[in-house]
């Protein structure tokens, strides 16, 4: 497929590498000058392009940027992009990083992103850590394969997105509509907890609206209280425990 990735950070660069190795034609962009972008893209097996060129002649566009940065994108970026093009949003909202954003309250994070972009989006790759994405992929059917959820309103787009997830090394669970995508947001039992497909289905179904932000902020406080950076496994354990604690609270 022809895939454009906006953002070459931890998630965007890992996806670019994986999809180019899988044989897809990948273009990337970020905020750097073209000379720097060329060096980054060469390491990813991708073509460096401006953001305006990235959205042309592609079948999938993956936005993988900080949540607050979407508002800085060129206005009408997707105006001439066909509705058939799959738009994927990997973002998560963290108030300490992204600040208060007018219009976000009361919406699922990706509903807000969809409104900002003026297009329906598929929420995907938001609920696994970059280290998990890079290191823990397995081939289909292998014991202990981790699953992630895909949420959105276009069934055909979700089906194609699921194939990309498989090529990236993970199983997929349907996370429901975009309005329901709060079930895979930070602090929920489905968020960066490294579950298999059955466990993830259960996690999505047990999520309670409004509890995610509490657990998300509790994890951040815990991080700040530690003297050293936790290991990957400790972070997964913290995510699991904060989500389960939040569900016990009235
Ligand atoms: N890291 C994780 O474990 C993880 C896991 C799941 C989801 N996520 C979410 O996925 C998103 C990306 O995360 P990340 O960790 O990959 O972020 P990151 O490492 O900070 O990288 C962000 C990328 O976005 C680019 N960018 C920022 N503003 C831009 C703009 N206006 N136009 C084009 N590119 C722009 C940056 O460009 P420059 O390189 O030029 O600065 C950078 O390449 C975030 O919303 C994050 O919450 C992260």
44-59 pLDDT per residue, tens: 999 999 999 999 999 9
For residue 244, how far is its CA from the centre of ligand 1 (angstroms)?
28
In ligand 1, the atom with minimum distance to the C-alpha of 73 is 31
Among 4, 5, 11, name the best residue to mutate to test ligand 1's pocket (greatest count of ligand atoms within 8 A of Cβ): 11
In ligand 1, the atom with minimum distance to the C-alpha of 91 is 45
For residue 109, how far is its CA from the centre of ligand 1 (angstroms)?
16
For residue 13, how far is its CA from the centre of ligand 1 (angstroms)?
9
For residue 133, how far is its CA from the centre of ligand 1 (angstroms)?
14
For residue 51, how far is its CA from the centre of ligand 1 (angstroms)?
14
For residue 61, how far is its CA from the centre of ligand 1 (angstroms)?
14
Q: What is the pLDDT along the chain (250 residues), one digit of tens a residue?
A: 999 999 999 999 999 999 999 999 999 999 999 999 999 999 999 999 999 999 999 999 999 999 999 999 999 999 999 999 999 999 999 999 999 999 999 999 999 999 999 999 999 999 999 999 999 999 999 999 999 999 999 999 999 999 999 999 999 999 999 999 999 999 999 999 999 999 999 999 999 999 999 999 999 999 999 999 999 999 999 999 999 999 998 7
In ligand 1, the atom with minimum distance to the C-alpha of 10 is 16
In ligand 1, the atom with minimum distance to the C-alpha of 36 is 40
Q: Categorise residue 173: left if φ over 0, alpha if ψ from -120 to 50, beta otherwise.
A: beta
For residue 94, how far is its CA from the centre of ligand 1 (angstroms)?
13
Ligand 1: residues within 6 Å at CB? 6-12, 29-32, 51, 64-67, 69, 72-73, 90-92, 126, 129-130
């Amino acid at each position: 497929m022809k895939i454009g990735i906006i953002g070459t950070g931890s998630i965007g660069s890992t996806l670019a590498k994986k999809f180019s190795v899988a044989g897809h034609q990948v273009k990337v962009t970020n905020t750097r000058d073209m000379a720097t972008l060329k060096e980054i893209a060469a390491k990813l097996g991708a073509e460096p392009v401006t953001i305006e060129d990235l959205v042309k002649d592609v079948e999938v566009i993956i936005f993988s940027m900080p949540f607050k940065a979407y508002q800085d994108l060129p206005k009408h970026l997707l105006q001439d992009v066909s509705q058939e093009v799959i738009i994927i949003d990997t973002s998560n909202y963290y108030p300490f990083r992204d600040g208060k954003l007018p219009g976000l309250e009361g919406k699922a994070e990706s509903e807000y992103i969809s409104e900002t972009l003026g297009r329906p989006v598929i929420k995907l790759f938001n609920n696994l850590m970059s280290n998990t994405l890079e290191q823990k992929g397995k081939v289909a059917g292998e014991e202990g394969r981790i699953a992630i959820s895909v949420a959105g309103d276009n069934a055909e787009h979700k089906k194609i997105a699921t194939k990309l997830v498989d090529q990236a090394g993970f199983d997929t669970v349907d996370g429901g509509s975009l309005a329901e995508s709060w079930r895979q947001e930070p602090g929920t039992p489905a968020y960066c907890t490294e579950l298999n497909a059955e466990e993830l289905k259960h996690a999505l179904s047990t999520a309670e609206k409004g509890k995610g932000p509490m657990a998300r902020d509790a994890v951040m406080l815990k991080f700040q209280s530690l003297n050293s950076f936790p290991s990957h496994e400790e972070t997964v354990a913290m995510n699991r425990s904060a989500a389960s604690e939040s569900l016990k609270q009235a």
